[in-house]
Amino acid sequence: MVGMLSSVQTEATKRKIRILVAKPGLDGHDRGALILARAFRDAGMEVIYTGLLPTPEDVAQMAIDEDVDVVAMSLLNGAHMTAFPRVAQILKKKGAGDILLVGGGIIPEEDKRMLEKEGITGNFGPGTQLKTIIDHIVKRVRKERWKLK
Amino acid sequence: MRMFSGFGTPEDTNKRLKYLLDQGETGLSIAFDMPTLYGYDCDHPRAQGEVGRCGVNVSSLKDMETIFDGIPLDKVSTSMTINAPAAVLTCMYMAVGDKQSVKMRNLRGTVQTDILKEYIAQKEWAYPPEAHLRIIRDLMVYSAKHMPNWNYISISGYHIREAGANAVQELAFTLADGFAYVELGIGAGLKVDQFAPRLSFFFNCTMDFFEEIAKFRAARRIWATVMKEKYHARDPRSLWLRFHAQTSGASLTWQQPMNNIVRTTIEALAAVLGGTQSLHTNSFDEAWALPTEKAVMVALRTQQIIAEETGVADVTDPLGGSYFLERLTDEIEERAYRYIDKIDSLGGVLEAIRAGYLQREIAENAYRDQQKLEKGEHVMVGANKHIIDEEPPIETLKVNPQVQARQTERLQRLKRERNNLKVQATLKTLKSAFKNPRVNSIYPLLSAVRAYSTLGEIMDVGREVFGEWREPNLL
């Protein structure tokens, strides 16, 4: 039992977080998404980027196909309340509800509460430090995906 | 002085334009919503939640007729900030003019049309680049023939800078785009002096005061030199680099927002000292929302104070001859040429876009800037230095959900009432024109618009013929 736990831990320290950076919807503002993709990569994650203009269906399918731990969604056009929950719903329907979802954009407080109910956390606004976002993701993946403390 | 406006339904925008005209404005400037900018009708699934949000929705000629109802097009000049569907909107404008019996040669205005910077920075496209360029070529030829007062393109560095480029990248990539359009015109059989005087530019002006002034000076030098030596332009107007400048949105902070008035003032001053022909000043509250009227007023007054109280606009190139500025101009010029040469060595702008080179250069610079900001090497007062305890503002802008319903209902009525056989016929002609690059597509576009084919129907013909664009990998 002790041996098994330590082997899980060794695997976890070696294991890299696989993350999909996603920009669902009619929104070409990719400056933040591309900065984050680079920051995630430099933090040791395996990064996949959806490119622009995928539908929520495309994003969910890519997350499943790429077998990621987490999807980081960025939207600055104000359509986060339709696009983000839609990705969550499709993932659940396809039996991939265990893929973690985090969000970012210009998101009012009241929207944040509703998004969190759908399992979309973070919901970081402009000016958030990269470290804050990375820490949030690492913490969630370790706890919810890898079941580590 | 032009105020950028456009929101909600075409009726809302018509009312706002008439108000501005009553206030003495003669230059109108229209902002469109995202579905229009991408070329989708208001009832398209991708338009969900977007209709009328950040500009007016135009799904057909009917909407343009409503926007300009009671506004004589021979008395105003109109600027339309739109790119991928620029040719369609231009045709709509021509059709409205025609209904008012205004001659095409008397239509005055500007459409942005600059698709190259869309692939590089703003990322609002419909088709692959070569398809859009072909339509722009058609628009250039058509305008040169029929619309002498129409500025069919505004070559834009603004968005390149806001996407994270530095001053040299903004300058080099924008000028490289400009040269690509010159080659497009020459390739279409036009003489360079026939169309080059109508080309104009749109630059960013941000906080590094002297660097920005030097950037504008270097821009004029490079443009004039290359136009003369490489493209053999003779008309002095072909050598002029005329430009509009806008202060930088990315330089503003949501923290301590009144500080943004100071930033905008400094940026505006740099643009004027750098020789801008026209200027837009941002409002102090734009870091979190569309501006209030009070904030817009301060932005406008900023320009008026510079223009009417300081005297700085009375002199041409007042900093010319300053040792520091001349050296900085030389240095920026040289670095920009190096980038332009690099782009040439990759096979030109189009190839550089296809390879993802320009986009990655910008993304890398944006990432470096972000790291500098977080380490405090780059200071933004109120954001990473001299911070006070304050809560982020709560955004209050809400879309009126009725706009989409009203626009959709109008669109459905149009589709019932128009001559659908005629629509189908014009779309078919357009399709064969798109397939044959020797045909000028503006003529069939205009027929399709006049038959009340919708924006989405017209753009879909292109999507069918040209396919869609997938960006290269930018990581």
**B473: which DSSP letter?**
P
Which stretch of B27-41, B127-141, B318-332, B409-423 has the lowest confidence by average pLDDT?
Answer: B27-41
Q: What residue of A is the nearest CA neighbor of B255?
A: A127
CB contact under 8 A, A79 and B163: no
CB contact under 8 A, A131 and B374: yes
User: How many A×B Cβ pairs under 8 Å?
Assistant: 83
Report d(CA A53, CA B37) in Å as an integer. 13
Beta-bridged to residue A100, according to DSSP, are A70
Q: Which sequence spans correspond to the domains of chain B?
A: 1-111+443-475
Mean pLDDT for B72-90 is 96
Is A128 an interface residue toward B (CB < 8 Å)? no
Q: What residue of B is the nearest CA neighbor of A76?
A: B288
- A2 pLDDT band, cuts 50/70/90, is very low
Check residue A12 and give its pLDDT.
47
pLDDT (tens digit per residue) in B447-459: 999 999 999 999 9
CB contact under 8 A, B392 and A125: yes
Is B364 an interface residue toward A (CB < 8 Å)? yes
Is B363 an interface residue toward A (CB < 8 Å)? yes
Instruction: Say if residues B356 and B119 touch (Cβ distance below 8 Å).
Output: no
Report d(CA A57, CA A83) in Å as an integer. 10
- Comparing CB atoms, the residue among A26, A27, A35 nearest residue B370 is A35
Check residue A109 and give its pLDDT.
85
Mean pLDDT for B171-179 is 98
Listed by number, the residues of chain A in 85-114 with a beta carbon closer than 8 Å to a beta carbon of chain B are 106, 108-109
- B287 pLDDT band, cuts 50/70/90, is confident
Check residue A9 and give its pLDDT.
47
Check residue B50 and give its pLDDT.
84
pLDDT at B5 over 90: no
Mean pLDDT for B70-96 is 97
CB contact under 8 A, A26 and B46: yes
Is B381 an interface residue toward A (CB < 8 Å)? no
Q: What structural domains does chain A harbor?
A: 17-145 (3.40.50.280)
Other Cβ atoms within 10 Å of B250 Cβ, number? 16
Mean pLDDT for B199-203 is 96
pLDDT (tens digit per residue) in B86-100: 999 999 999 999 999
| CB contact set of B432 (below 8 Å; sequence gap of 6+) | B439
Average pLDDT value for chain B: 94
Exposed, middle or buried, B158 (CB in 10 Å: 0-12/13-18/19+)? Answer: buried
* Residue found by looking up tokens 């950076």 in the block: A21
CB contact under 8 A, A126 and B287: yes
- Comparing CB atoms, the residue among A28, A41, A127 nearest residue B254 is A127
Beta-bridged to residue B386, according to DSSP, are none
CB contact under 8 A, A109 and B164: no
Neighboring chain B residues of A30 at a CB cutoff of 8 Å: 123, 163, 474
Nearest C-alpha of chain A: how many angstroms from B412? 23
For an interface test with A, the pick among B170, B370, B394 (most A C-beta atoms closer than 10 Å) comes out as: B370
Listed by number, the residues of chain B in 251-280 with a beta carbon closer than 8 Å to a beta carbon of chain A are 253-255
Q: Which ipTM did the prediction report?
A: 0.89
Neighboring chain B residues of A52 at a CB cutoff of 8 Å: 123, 471
pLDDT (tens digit per residue) in A78-135: 788 889 999 999 999 999 999 999 999 988 888 999 999 999 999 998 889 999 999 9
Share of chain B above pLDDT 70, in %: 97
pLDDT (tens digit per residue) in B405-416: 999 999 999 999
Neighboring chain B residues of A131 at a CB cutoff of 8 Å: 374
Report d(CA B16, CA B5) in Å as an integer. 8
Instruction: Say if residues A71 and A20 touch (Cβ distance below 8 Å).
Output: yes
Q: What residue of B is the nearest CA neighbor of A132?
A: B374
Exposed, middle or buried, B394 (CB in 10 Å: 0-12/13-18/19+)? Answer: exposed
Neighboring chain A residues of B122 at a CB cutoff of 8 Å: 28
Nearest C-alpha of chain B: how many angstroms from A65? 18
Mean pLDDT for B122-149 is 96
Check residue A13 and give its pLDDT.
56
Nearest C-alpha of chain B: how many angstroms from A32? 9
Is A26 an interface residue toward B (CB < 8 Å)? yes
Here the tokens at position B350 are 């189009």
CB contact under 8 A, B475 and A126: no
Which stretch of A5-14, A35-44, B265-274 has the lowest confidence by average pLDDT?
Answer: A5-14
* One-character DSSP codes across B334-383: HHHHHHHHHHHHTTSHHHHHHTTHHHHHHHHHHHHHHHHHHHTSS--BTT
Q: What residue of A is the nearest CA neighbor of B366?
A: A35
CB contact under 8 A, A38 and B50: no
Is A52 an interface residue toward B (CB < 8 Å)? yes
| CB contact set of B359 (below 8 Å; sequence gap of 6+) | B119, B120, B121, B353, B471, B472, B474
The amino acid present at B6, given as its one-letter code, is G
What residue ranges in B139-242 does DSSP mark as E strands? 150-151, 154-156, 200-205
Calculate the alpha carbon distances from B378 to B166, B251, B368, B372, B386 in Å: 13, 12, 10, 5, 13
Torsion of CA B378, B383, B386, B390, to 10 degrees: -170
CB contact under 8 A, B367 and A129: no
Neighboring chain B residues of A27 at a CB cutoff of 8 Å: 34
Neighboring chain A residues of B123 at a CB cutoff of 8 Å: 28-30, 52
Report d(CA B116, CA B122) in Å as an integer. 10
CB contact under 8 A, B253 and A127: yes
CB contact under 8 A, B38 and A82: no
pLDDT at B1 over 80: no
Check residue B6 and give its pLDDT.
66
Here the tokens at position B228 are 């003369």
Mean pLDDT for B360-379 is 97
